[in-house]
A and B are shown apart, each in its own frame.
Chain A
Amino acid sequence: MYETKYQRASNVEDAAKMLAATDDGKFISGGQTLIPTMKQRLAAPSDLIDVRNIDAMKGIAVDGSNVSIGAAATHAEVANSNDVHKACPALCDLAGMIGDPHVRHMGTIGGSIANNDPAADYPAAMIALNAQITTSKRTIGADDFFTDLFETALEEDEIVTSITFQAPSKAAYAKFPNPASRYAMAGVFVAQVEDGAARVGVTGAGSSGVFRHGEMEAALSKDWSEAAIKNCKVDEAAMLSDLHGNAAYRANLVKVMAKRAVAAAG
């Protein structure tokens, strides 16, 4: 790992100021992606501003159908939250599938979405749940937040502080994990939101990162069943292709995962 300088922020404003004063600093939360990347010398931030201990970014609050999750909530906290489980058990299932128990003790929801790894799990849920992502500057709808591979609408000194969404009437996440890394080869989060409208978020497979599948959404909005998406097309040209699986393979996986998710949501 290259040299770096570490500072711990105690509130959101200080964190933004600390970052602004650095040459090429980065925020660190759980660090479960950033530290391995730095160990491989694929990232070399001059400074690390630790936001994991900021109280205002902690905690989970569920009020009726409103769910609010602090950006520093760990995957283990989301997976084991009784309140989230009542509102949206699919999100607990998803959080419990990330990495392994040790990674889940450190990794955070804010860190995951700010990094926007194309194979990360949370982005699929964020777009399928139409989540609102609150930052140190504004609130951004999930559809506008994830822009490309490892790219988001966040500015350099902007920090994700919380995530809110309305509990769906039903939802489920189905993931085909890479057997070695546990990252999604394809992961599909399906949700039935207001007025029976369906939203389908796909991660792990798209060559531009997470995306919504409009044709499946239209089909499921009319008829929530596996049969409804049987004839939907997944465009191979928009799929990732790498040593783990080619585009045709991933396109098929997306469909299979979508069917499994629809069946699991009931």
Chain B
Amino acid sequence: MTSISMSVNGKAVSGDVEDRTLLVQFIREDLRLTGTHVGCDTSQCGACVVHVDGKAVKSCTMLAVQASGSEVTTIEGLANGGDLHPLQTAFKENHGLQCGFCTPGMIMSAADMIARYKASGSKLDEKAIREELEGNICRCTGYHNIVRSIEDAAAKMS
């Protein structure tokens, strides 16, 4: 067992984990933050995307020990108390989810891409959003409204 500590959603957390523990296991099973999902076992679906030190990563493809000392943000960290994050509102208003399983990963990926495009000054248009979602799979195949939700939120966040 190894002692790890990190900041999750602005709160200092620590725990003793086996070195083989995946970051997503630590988040879900130790911290009981079950908004981050595991949709596949092959690093492809993106349901587990969280931000580590400000960058979107697949938490099923990173060990918890690798993230020790880092700042992690999960879907639970986006809303400000009772006020939803603009992306959460946009997904609600644009019917951006059907079963909802992929939604946490979609929203965390969207938050990352919006921030990156804003920082670089390039335009996040529909084509760019679709390319950026390459690592996120929606098995309801509801991509159209997911893309619209992200476009809507990006406009409101600019």
Chain A residues within 8 Å of B, Cβ to Cβ: 1-6, 8, 28, 31-32, 35-36, 38-40, 48, 50, 52, 76, 80, 99-103, 105-106, 180-182
Give Cα distance in the complex from A213 to B139, angstroms: 41
Give Cα distance in the complex from A42 to B134, angstroms: 26
Give the contacting residue for B62; candidates A3, A101, A106, A180; CB below 8 A: A106
Give Cα distance in the complex from A232 to B60, angstroms: 44
Given the contacts A4-B19, A6-B2, A182-B134, A101 and B61 also touching, CB distance less than 8 Å: no
Once the chains bind, are B112 and A103 in contact (CB under 8 Å)? Answer: no
Q: Is the interface of B mostly helix, strand, loop or mixed?
A: mixed
B124 at the interface (CB under 8 A from A): no
Given the contacts A103-B58, A106-B61, A4 and B20 also touching, CB distance less than 8 Å: yes
B104 at the interface (CB under 8 A from A): no
Residues of A within 8 A of B58 (CB): 102-103, 106
Give Cα distance in the complex from A30 to B58, angstroms: 11
Residues of B within 8 A of A6 (CB): 2, 19, 63, 65-66
Once the chains bind, are A3 and B57 in contact (CB under 8 Å)? Answer: no
Cβ contacts B118-158/A at 8 Å (1 or 0 each)? 00100000000000101110000000000000000000000
Given the contacts A4-B19, A6-B63, A106-B57, A101 and B132 also touching, CB distance less than 8 Å: yes
Once the chains bind, are A100 and B135 in contact (CB under 8 Å)? Answer: yes
Given the contacts A2-B20, A100-B46, A39 and B62 also touching, CB distance less than 8 Å: no
Write the chain B residue with the least CB distance to A38.
B20
Give Cα distance in the complex from A2 to B21, angstroms: 10
Write the chain A residue with the least CB distance to B64.
A6
A-B contact pairs, 11 of them (CB 8 A): A4-B19, A4-B20, A6-B66, A31-B61, A39-B60, A40-B41, A99-B135, A100-B135, A101-B109, A106-B58, A106-B61
From A2, A8, A105, A182, residue with most partner B Cβ within 10 Å: A105
Give Cα distance in the complex from A36 to B56, angstroms: 17
Once the chains bind, are A102 and B20 in contact (CB under 8 Å)? Answer: no
From A4, A38, A39, A101, residue with most partner B Cβ within 10 Å: A101
Give Cα distance in the complex from A101 to B108, angstroms: 12
B80 at the interface (CB under 8 A from A): no
Residues of B within 8 A of A50 (CB): 66
Once the chains bind, are B55 and A100 in contact (CB under 8 Å)? Answer: no
Once the chains bind, are B61 and A3 in contact (CB under 8 Å)? Answer: no
